[in-house]
Amino acid sequence: MDKSGLKVAVIDLNNGAPNQGMRGIQEILSRFKNENNVNLSFDIFDLRQKGEIPNIGYDAYISSGGPGSPIESKGEKWENDFFDLLDQIEAYNQQHEERKKYAFLICHSFQLACRKYGLGNVTERRSNAFGIFPITLTEDGEKDEIFNGITNPFFSVDSRDWQVIEPDFDAFEKKGAKLLAIEKERKHVDLERCMMSIRITDEIIGTQFHPEADPVGMKMYLLQEEKKKAIVDMHGEQKYLDMLNSLDDPARIVLTQSVILPNFLQKAIGNLQVV
């Protein structure tokens, strides 16, 4: 493998559904390549729709969000292949002290991994959560390099019908996992706060939110009548207008998109240069 290059596998879990996430991931990869003058290449694997799964020959893996239940896929071949890949990444990392392989799991991928490792209760929400929301870093999150350069709280796009709540701290301890971020506290809502980011291992991290989301994609979503109605019904028209007006705010999703996945890639490329 070329030590000066970074090979990234992008796993598409959208199952053919229209989305902005894959475009966002590819834009971040292209921008990272150009801004850092890195020999970066990536391949896309349409896992749910076509059964495509990367082998262990990549340096980094980014797995997308996607529609549907993260529970009903239990036992399906594509899910088994996904879990097998995570096992392969862990096994590789245990056997190689110097060069590691890294994985970033977004939304649906994150929920699947939480179910695999028993880190919490994967449950359906009472109603869809969609919009730009503040997210709170835990003490471990504030120390984690993936969030270097972010504010606390920080803002990101959240789009979920399912979520992971009620952390099983025995499972966390057994796995060596760390809870990095949680849903903003809502004093008037008596509901368990959702886990928003977990470092599953030193090399595998997941987020419930969408670090790849950018103003262009989010604006397209917000202008859809169905999305607008959902936000207005849940949060009121003023909140909807605030989201729309905040899209280009450099301290909100622009910052999140420019920090989190690039930090992940920086760690992966830095790891290659150690060897």
Q: Which residue has the tokens 């994609």?
A: 217
**pLDDT at 190 (0 to 100):** 52
pLDDT of residue 273: 57
Tell me whether strands 39-46 and 5-12 are parallel, antiparallel or unpaired: parallel
Q: Which of 58, 47, 48, 68 is nearest to 5 (CA)?
A: 58
Confidence of residue 191 (pLDDT cuts 50, 70, 90): low
* Residue 203 backbone phi and psi in degrees, to 5: -110, -10
109, 15 in Cβ contact below 8 A?
no
Distance CA 182, CA 180 (A): 7
Given its phi and psi angles, is residue 141 left (phi above 0), alpha (psi -120 to 50 degrees) or beta? alpha
Q: What 8-state DSSP symbol labels residue 51?
A: -
Q: Are strands 204-207 and 195-199 parallel, antiparallel or unpaired?
A: antiparallel
pLDDT of residue 129: 74
pLDDT at residue 4 greater than cutoff 70 = no
What gap in Å lies between CA 61 and CA 5, rounded to an integer? 14
**Taking a C-beta distance cutoff of 8 angstroms, is the pair 8, 29 a contact?**
yes
Best CA proximity match to 89, nearest among 51, 116, 115, 121:
116
Of 197, 212, 144, nearest in space to 8 by CA: 212
CA torsion through residues 163, 165, 168, 173, sign: positive
Question: Residue 1 pLDDT more than 70?
Answer: no
- Taking residues 227-253, what's their average pLDDT? 88
Tell me the pairing of strands 121-137 and 154-165: antiparallel
In this prediction the pTM is: 0.93
How high is the pLDDT of residue 235? 82
- Sign, CA dihedral 222-227-233-234, equals negative
Sign of CA dihedral 92, 78, 71, 182: positive
Is the pLDDT confidence value at 70 over 90? Answer: yes
How much is the pLDDT for 272? Answer: 66
Alpha carbons 36 and 33: distance in angstroms, whole number:
6
What pLDDT is recorded for position 204? 98
Quick one: tokens of 241?
């207008």
Q: Please tell me the number of Cα atoms within 13 Å of 181 on its side-chain side.
A: 27
Region 95-120: what's the mean pLDDT?
A: 96
Q: Assess whether pLDDT exceeds 70 at residue 164.
A: yes
Report the pLDDT averaged over residues 1-6. Answer: 61
pLDDT over threshold 50, residue 275: no
pLDDT at 233: 87
Strand partners, 94: none
Domains of the chain (ranges; CATH) run 5-126+135-213+257-274 (3.40.50.880)
pLDDT score recorded for residue 158: 87
- Lowest-pLDDT choice from 69-83, 138-152, 170-184, 230-244: 230-244
pLDDT band at 231 (very low <50, low <70, confident <90, very high): confident
pLDDT tens-place string over residues 78-97: 999 999 999 999 999 999 98
Provide CB contacts within 8 A for 3, sequence distance 6+: 272, 273, 275
pLDDT band at 234 (very low <50, low <70, confident <90, very high): confident
| CB-based contacts of 34, cutoff 8 Å, min separation 6 | none
